[in-house]
Amino acid sequence: MTDTDRAANDDTAEPLDARRKRLIYRSLYTGMKETDLLLGQFARAHVPHFTEAELDQYEHLLDVNEDPRVYAWAIGREPVPAEFDTPVMKLLQNFRLA
């Protein structure tokens, strides 16, 4: 990758704070009330402290667009597919609503 390529990537990259805010918002409005509550509180508690790699894992999970499945994985009702069996999913599975 050249310096020009790096500069172009830096210019188009979403700032971390904006990305975190976007992911928290998406977590609050997933489309299923149970998932909104779980992911919304989880995101508020953890997303502000996530690394870029953890943000990638979490965003990949939100991109599933099958709220009942994500909820079932999070509460242990269904096994988590290998693709989503990440440290962030483990953190979500251990998260308890306040």
43 burial level (CB within 10 Å; 0-12, 13-18, 19+): buried
Domain contains 80: yes
**How confident is the model over 65-77, as pLDDT tens digits?**
899 999 999 999 9
Our count of domains for the chain comes to: 1
Domain contains 5: no
Q: b/e per residue, 69-87, with b = 16+ CB within 10 A?
A: bbbebbeeeeebeeebebe
**How confident is the model over 26-64, as pLDDT tens digits?**
999 998 999 999 999 999 999 999 999 999 999 999 999
Domain housing 46 = 16-94
CATH code of 48's domain: 1.10.150.250
Place of tokens 């790699």: 53
| The model's pTM | 0.84
